[in-house]
Amino acid sequence: MDALYKIQLSLNRRLFYNNLQAVVISRHVANRGVADIMNPLIQARVVSRNLWVFISDRPAVEFLRQSPKLDVIPAMYLTNLFRNKVWLNRPYDATIGGFHQRLSTPGVEPFALDIAGVEHNLSAPRIKGIVTFSGDRLAGEMSGREFVGWALVQNQLPHTVFVYRCPNGPNDGFVVNIKSARCRVRVRTADGGSAPPVIDLQVRLRGSVEGGVCAVNQDAERLKTLQMAVESQSAEMITSAIHRAQTEKTDVFGFGRELYRHQPRAWRGDAWWANAFPSAQVRVTVGARLDFVQTYTRTEFVYQQG
């Protein structure tokens, strides 16, 4: 708040925070806590709750010094870039409003988008994954296949193209166009809360195989083999993401929130869940329904007069 006050003293016009498009916080600052940065913006009535929140490995000032080629306003270029490329169907959770809502809700921890600065010949930063928090302090990160596993559990994986490994060739892959992904979560406790909680996840995927080394033969047997590979690898990604969250002791999935909503008598507070979540038993079931892309073969038609 003192920093914003000093900025106002150096300007001849009153700051209008409704023009804010994104907040970039360096990882060094996020390790100490981001509440002092978030609170003045959340309390300001004119600040949009859809304000993007990014965590960067590099100093945040580097993003202000960038000169985009397609837009003369770096802030607009940054927010439009991630609005178009972000993987989330519901980007509200990746905003300052979603961060504050998760921070004040029992059984769930906030997160922010993890971005990398401009590297090599790239003209814009890129999304690496998400940064997880424990309270308002940085706890860890999820990227790559763990990020995909988190998005599947959160029902925030939009229509996208993803590459899975071939069953018989670990170095080869096949492309799947995921058209829909839904996850159903059930969390329960037993023995009065003394036993570790059990988390059951049922994921349903639907998509089409659009090519790859192991998708040359498009028959029913091959489709069943690829479908089993999608189910097993998706379950691995989800399990790996949950284990990462348990290791970092941050329930960014919101499993505790599900327990708080459906079994309020079993809920014993955030402190209890912080100790119970790392030892929770996780069971993941993935069902996939795949189709091959419709192809057309050459057919000769013979017209016989009469």
Q: pLDDT tens, position by position, for the chain (306 residues)?
A: 788 888 889 888 888 888 787 889 999 999 999 988 888 888 887 888 888 889 988 888 887 776 656 556 666 666 666 665 555 545 557 888 889 999 989 999 999 988 876 665 555 677 888 999 999 999 999 988 899 899 899 887 767 788 898 887 667 888 898 888 899 999 988 666 677 889 999 999 999 988 887 877 777 888 888 899 999 999 999 999 999 999 999 999 999 999 988 888 888 889 999 999 999 999 999 999 988 875 544 444 444 554
Residue 14: the pLDDT is 85
Distance CA 276, CA 272 (A): 6
Domain closes at, from 107, 142, 177: 142
Domain that holds residue 56: 1-142
The reply to whether 73 and 203 lie within a common domain is: no
Q: pTM value? A: 0.82
The answer to whether the CB of 129 falls within 8 A of the CB of 135 is no
Looking at the structure, tell me whether residues 78 and 124 fall in a common domain: yes
Domains in the chain, number: 2
Same domain (yes/no): 177, 273: yes
Same domain, yes or no: 285 and 194? yes
Distances (CA, A) of 136 to 31, 33, 99, 130, 198: 9, 5, 9, 15, 27
The domain boundary, picked from 123, 142, 161, lies at 142
Do residues 236 and 291 share a domain? yes
Q: Are residues 84 and 174 both part of a single domain?
A: no
Say whether both 136 and 159 belong to one domain. no
pLDDT value at residue 61: 85
Beta sheet of 198-212, edge-to-edge order: 160-165, 173-188, 198-212, 281-292
Whether 123 and 158 map to the same domain: the answer is no
Give Cα separations from 279 to 67, 197, 247, 274 (angstroms).
48, 8, 10, 10
Q: What is the pLDDT of residue 235?
A: 94
| One domain for residues 113 and 179 | no
116 and 207 part of one domain: no
Same domain, 45 and 152: no
Contact criterion met (CB below 8 Å) for 7 and 34: no
CB 133 within 8 A of CB 112: yes
The CATH number linked to 162 is 3.30.300.210
Where does a domain end: 142, 174, 199? 142
* Residues 55, 164 within the same domain: no
